[in-house]
Amino acid sequence: MNFNWEDYLSLARRLRDQNTNPDESALRSAVSRAFFSAFCKARNFGRDNENLQVRGNVDDYGIVIAHFSKGKRAKVGTLLGELRQWRNLCDYSDSVNNLHTLATQALFEAQKAIDILKT
């Protein structure tokens, strides 16, 4: 059975909402899981429905974002690009400002990208 990548988005919500003051690691993880939820849904959609050729490595980030940056689903490419920047910020930077707001925005944009793929 294949993994349901939207489960990562549910996990991201739980991490953000775990208590009234989630710790920084939970919020950083929420941003990361939100990105991967949307990215993997898009990658699989492109692969299964649009003959997108993916390699199963780090090159897939650019391949998928470029693929969805044109055509009728161009908004997905824009959202994925922004989510990836935020994920990189949270995964690699020592300091992230307004982290709770960023996590909330990442959840919103990841859901938006997934919803576009469903239409």
Number of domains in the chain: 1
18 domain residue, yes or no: yes
User: Residue 18's pLDDT is what?
Assistant: 87
Query: Which residue has tokens 């990361």?
Result: 32
Domain range spanning residue 98? 6-118
Residue 28 corresponds to which tokens in the numbers above? 């950083």
* C-alpha closest to that of 45 among 88, 1, 6: 6
Question: CA-CA-CA-CA torsion for 109, 115, 116, 117, nearest 10 degrees?
Answer: 120
1 domain residue, yes or no: no
Per-residue pLDDT 10s for the chain (119 aa) are 899 999 999 999 999 998 777 799 999 999 999 999 999 999 999 999 999 999 999 999 999 999 999 988 999 999 999 999 999 999 999 999 999 999 999 999 999 999 999 98
Q: How many whole angstroms separate alpha carbon 80 and alpha carbon 84?
A: 6
Domain of 106, CATH number, reads 1.20.120
